[in-house]
Amino acid sequence: MMINYLVLPFGKMAYYLEGEGQTIVFLHGWGQNFSSFKKIVSNLISEYQVLGVDLLGFGHSEVPTTPLSVKEYADSLKALFDTLMINSPIIVAHSFGGRIALKYCADYGAEKLFLLGAAGLKKRSIRRFFQIWYYKIFRKIYKIIAPKKYQKLIDKSGSKDYRSAKGIMRQILIKTVNYDSRRDMKRVACPTYLFWGLLDEETPYGDGLKMAKIIPNAEIVTFYNSGHFCYIQEEQRFIKMLKDLL
């Protein structure tokens, strides 16, 4: 698929468009890009118009000039859809892309929404509270009296995504992780299908069950042999289920 660009105030966003018919939009997860959906797209291109997006900061898109919020990512999609004159798209979104899709659907609506191991629930636990408290306190202490321990704490803290993200992208990740999508979930009006790997450790299966209760008109589809990438790990079943529900 040929690469195209939409120029936005905070950077160029890459997108790919091919086919005719109802538009299906694919949104990737953190650290990924549209190419992760390549095999899925090849099974849809003859029946649908497929729009793939490299979210800002990933793939062929530019790193944004400012740390974007979830809303700004959703609004960038709206700008793209308006440019391409796309109304009521079907959205398929994985992980980080799911959080953006929820915000978009809550604000602007869609025909259908497919969430694949989607992010969106901010973790609320006593253990998590004390982990953050420990990190903040010792970060301040070590920074003053023990530079080596300070650097070691920084290097070991946070998720793999956090440790690998730099500069503006790290700021975006922090904003994103701290954004709770529950309010957006309650405002999603379109039919929603949650495709979830039972073995998912990034966004646990329990998150999917919670989302299915919060989002109106939602149902969960379980992939029993998958982790965080059900659309890759159980590709043929994923394609069949997606086509059936489309």
What is the C-alpha to C-alpha distance for residues 197 and 83, in angstroms, rounded to an integer? 35
Q: Where are the domains of the chain?
A: 3-122+179-245, 126-162
State residue 1's pLDDT score.
Answer: 86
Query: DSSP string covering 151-207, please?
Result: HHHHHHSS-HHHHH--HHHHHHHHHHHT---HHHHHT--S-EEEEEETT-TTTTHHH
State residue 236's pLDDT score.
Answer: 96
State residue 63's pLDDT score.
Answer: 97
Helical spans, DSSP H, in the chain: 38-42, 70-84, 96-108, 126-145, 147-156, 160-164, 167-177, 182-186, 205-214, 230-233, 235-245
CATH number for the domain running over 3-122+179-245: 3.40.50.1820
State residue 129's pLDDT score.
Answer: 44
State residue 194's pLDDT score.
Answer: 98
Would you write out the chain's pLDDT as a tens digit for each of its 246 residues? 899 999 999 999 999 999 999 999 999 999 999 999 999 999 999 999 999 999 999 999 999 999 999 999 999 999 999 999 999 999 999 999 999 999 999 999 999 999 999 999 987 555 554 455 555 675 677 677 777 765 665 556 556 766 677 899 999 999 999 999 999 999 999 999 999 999 999 999 999 999 999 999 999 999 999 999 999 999 999 999 999 999
